[in-house]
Amino acid sequence: MNAIKDKLALITGGASGIGRLVALGLAERGARVVAWDIDEGALERISHEAAKLKLPIAAMRCDVSDRAEVYRQAAKVRELFGRVDILVNNAGIVSGRKLLDTPDEKIERTMAVNVLAQFWTLKAFLPAMIEKGEGHVVTIASAAGLVGVTGLADYSASKFASVGLDEALRMELRKQRSRVRTTIVCPFFIDTGLFAGVKTRFPLLLPILKPEAVALKIVGAIARGKKRVVTPPFVYSVYLLRLLPVRALDAVADFFGISSSMDDFKGRTHE
């Protein structure tokens, strides 16, 4: 499936940040969009924005960390709008603290939102895609899912899990000869407010990314059926760096400022 027009797309965390921009981008290309979010203020804002722009975006509150709520709202989506063709697992949160400074509840919340929620949405919407013989699952991971980052232990772990989930799912679908496609997205830090205060030592190689540019890449990948989006291109070097001895890998991470990028992290003022 390489078309977006007239497809039904569901985006978790779809009322703000990258999720909002992807929702707008898909709707502008002719998709019908359902934006799930827990932030009722953001849901209200995207509803007004969609109405002003005359875009088919329906905003629905859903706490994706709550399995029962995901299944309940998924049934409502099917009843109101039909089968989901494009699932964008985008919802995510950041604790932004060193491991021993992160409360247990924060770690559990990070895993519930960033990882487990993807299993619930997949179980809710993937069977119909497989039965239909077409569909697209997009997983918004992170460059922190390719290399561990100081101050992001729980977040990195969740994004490593997302990368593994996408890869295993892709293998399963391929073995089933299913035409359902998958896309993994691994960007460097994005200037959405979620990572307010992060820094980069070499902005030409590892710039803090503009959300509009990342959203455009994601929408383009959905349109073309691209399996992997890694941005900026320098992040691809991580795959080669993993061939180095651990001490050398750590030294490279220190040199490029990966180990100190979170030193001045502030994050959003609310989750």
d(CA 181, CA 184): 10
For residue 265, the SS3 value is: coil
Q: Taking Cα atoms as reference points, which of 232, 234, 190 lies closest to residue 209? A: 190
155 is catalytic: yes
Question: Which residue, chain included where needed, has tokens 């994004």?
Answer: 159
- The residues facing 136 across adjacent strands are 86, 181
Q: Taking Cα atoms as reference points, which of 53, 21, 12 lies closest to residue 209? A: 21
> Taking a C-beta distance cutoff of 8 angstroms, is the pair 114, 93 a contact?
yes
For residue 34, the SS3 value is: strand
d(CA 144, CA 96): 12
- The residues facing 110 across adjacent strands are none
Q: Which of 71, 155, 236, 239 is catalytic?
A: 155
Q: Note every long-range contact of 60-63, with CB atoms under 8 Å and residues 24 or more positions apart, other chains counting.
A: 60/34, 60/35, 60/36, 61/36, 61/37, 62/12, 62/36, 62/37, 62/38, 63/38
Question: Which residue, chain included where needed, has tokens 């691809």?
Answer: 236
Q: Which strand (E) or helix (H) includes residue 12?
A: strand 8-12
Cβ neighbours for 80, distance < 8 A, ≥ 6 positions apart: 58
The count of other CB atoms within 10 Å of the CB of residue 210 is 12
| Positions marked active-site | 155
